[in-house]
């Protein structure tokens, strides 16, 4: 492999019901799938996490994304509260 070559891995994931649109109808009782391309290093890190935790790749992605989404929501709320405090000071 040349220095600038990269292997791209595609990971399919189910789309939740809230994410479906008219262009992605539900087929045969299953949610439509999307693909995600990641580099070698990221894919290997995902495999390592899955092996250690005993998770599938999809389960790992859902858990890790969910945790990060929760952090973003908390940080966003904290910033909103701090902003309100700054404006309410005399």
Whether the pLDDT of residue 32 is over 90: the answer is: no
In 3D space, the residue among 57, 20, 21, 15 whose CA is nearest the CA of residue 33 turns out to be 15
Residue 2, token pair as written in the block: 């040349």
Q: Read off the pTM.
A: 0.60
Length of the chain: 90
Rounded distance, CA 31 to CA 20, Å?
8
- The pLDDT tens digits for 54-87 are 999 999 999 999 999 999 999 999 999 998 888 7
Q: Report the Cα–Cα distance between both ends of the chain, in Å, rounded.
A: 64
Query: In angstroms, how far apart are the furthest CA atoms of the chain?
Result: 64
Beta strands in the chain (DSSP E): 9-14, 33-38
């Amino acid at each position: 492999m040349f220095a600038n070559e990269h292997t791209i891995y595609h990971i399919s994931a189910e789309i939740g019901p809230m994410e479906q649109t008219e262009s992605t109808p539900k087929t045969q009782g299953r949610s439509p799938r999307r693909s995600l391309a990641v580099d070698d290093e990221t894919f290997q890190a995902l495999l390592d996490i899955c092996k250690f935790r005993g998770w599938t790749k999809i389960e790992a992605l859902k858990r890790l994304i969910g945790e990060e989404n929760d952090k973003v929501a908390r940080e966003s709320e904290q910033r909103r509260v701090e902003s309100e405090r700054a404006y309410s000071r005399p």
